[in-house]
Chain A
Amino acid sequence: MAASRLDRSVRWLAGRRAWVQGLFLVVWLDPLMLRLHNVCGPVFHCYSCPLAAFACPIGVLANFSALHLFPFAAVGTLVVIGAGIGNALCGWACPFGFLQDAAGWIPTPRFRLPAWTGYARYLVLVSLVVVVPYLWSESHSLFFCRLCPAGALEGALPNTVNVARAGGGIVLPNAAKLIVLGVVLVAMLFTLRPWCKVLCPLGAVFGLFNQASMVTLRFRSNTCQGCGQCDKMCRYGVLPNRNVNNSRCIRCLECTKCGALAVGTVFTGSAEADETTLGPAVKLRG
C-alpha cells in the first residue's frame, strides 16, 4: 500500500517537473545575492553569470586541473549527489537543462540522435575539462570554459551588456563560445536536450552513477507486460526497456507512468527482489 502511494506521488511529481525546475532556478539565481562562489554547486550554471549563487563544478574541475590540484570539495559534491540520486539533478534542477526542455515546447520537427553520440560527453570531460587544462593551462583556446555555451549565455553575454551599460563600450566575448552557443540553440529546436545528450561533461559524470546510486529505477517483473510502452514514453530516447538505469537517463520519471517502472532504493528489502534494472527487452534477447 505504501509503495503504491509512493508510485502515485512519483507519477504526480513527474507531471509537474517543469514547476520543480522553475523552483530550482530560485536557488541557482541567487535572489539573496549571497554569491557563494567558494561552494561548488551541483548543476551546470556558469559562475560568471551575474546571478550565479554557486561555482560551476565543471569550471572548478577544469581550473583546478590547470592549477594541477585535485578539487576535493568539487569531486566530493559530485560523488555524494551522484551516489545519492544519480543523474536526477540534470532532469529536475539544471538550469541549462530547463532551457533545453523549454525549447522542446516549441512545435518543431524533432529528430532522435543515435545512442552512441552520448559517448562524446566522456570525450569532452576527459579532453577539454581535464587534459587540455592540465597540459596547456587555462589560456588554451580549447579550455572548456572558453567554449562553454552556458558560459556564453549566462556569463559572457550579460557581462557584455553590463560593461556596455557602464560606458565601457561593446567588448564582444570569445567568438568560439558564441558559435557553440548558436549551434546548441539551433539544435535545441530539432532535438530534445542536444547539449545534455551529446556534449555535457557534468551529465557524463552523473550518468556514471546511474547504475550505482542509492535511488534507482526498477522494473516490477510481475507487473511489466513487455509492451514497450516505457520506450515510447521516454522523450529522450533512452529506451528504458533495455536498461532503466542507462547512463543517458536524466530520471525525468515519465516512464514510471506506465506502472511497471518504479522508483526504489538500494535498501529495498528482499520481498521486492523480483525487481530488476534490466528491462524485458534484455530478458527476451537473453
Chain B
Amino acid sequence: MSRSLRRILPPVTLLVAGACALIYGASARTVPVVAEVMVEKEVIVLDPPPRDWPGSRGGPGGRGPILPPPPPRPRRVKQQVAEEQVQVTPEPKVTRDVTVGGITRLQDGRIKLTYRPGEDGPALCPT
C-alpha cells in the first residue's frame, strides 16, 4: 500500500462511517418509547344501591326479615383513561427529550416518557 494511501485511508474511512451513523441516527433510527396516553374508553360503572328499596324495612308493616338490595345495574359510560402505548420515536426526538429529563429507563428495560404526549414536557434538566 502506498504511503499516501495509508495516510488518506483512516480519516476517509472514519469520515464515511461517521457520516453514515449521523445520517442513520438523524433520519432513520427509531426507538420504541412507552408513553402514557389519555384515551376515551367505554367503561362499565356499577351504580350504588338505592337507599330505599322494596323490602329494606322488612315485610309489610315492618314485620318480617329485611330483604337484600337489588343487584347494582351495570352502566356503560365513556371516560378518559390513561393507557400505556408504545410509540415509535425518532432518535432526534429522544435526544430532545433527554435534554430535559423527559425520558427514563424503567427497571424492566422499557424506555418511558416522563410526561404525556401533547402536554408540556419538563422544562429543565433534572441534574
- Which residues does A use to contact B, with CB under 8 Å? 37-40, 46-48, 55-56, 59-60, 63-64, 66-69, 71-84, 137-138, 143, 145-146, 148, 151, 155, 159, 174, 177, 209, 212-214, 266-267, 269-270, 273
Contacts and interface: CB of A to CB of B under 8 A. Distances in A.
Nearest to A156: B127
A11 B79 CA distance: 71
A266 B8 contact: yes
Contact of B95 (A40, A137, A177): A40
B7 A71 contact: no
A83 B22 contact: no
A270 B23 contact: no
Nearest to A209: B14
The DSSP consensus for interface residues of chain B is helix
Contacts of B126: 138
A214 B96 contact: no
A212 B10 contact: yes
Interface string B58-91: 0000000000000000000000000000000001
The range of chain B's interface size is 35 or more
B38 to A, nearest CB: 25
A275 B18 CA distance: 28
Nearest to B126: A138
Given A38-B95, A59-B99, A72-B29, A137 B105 contact: yes
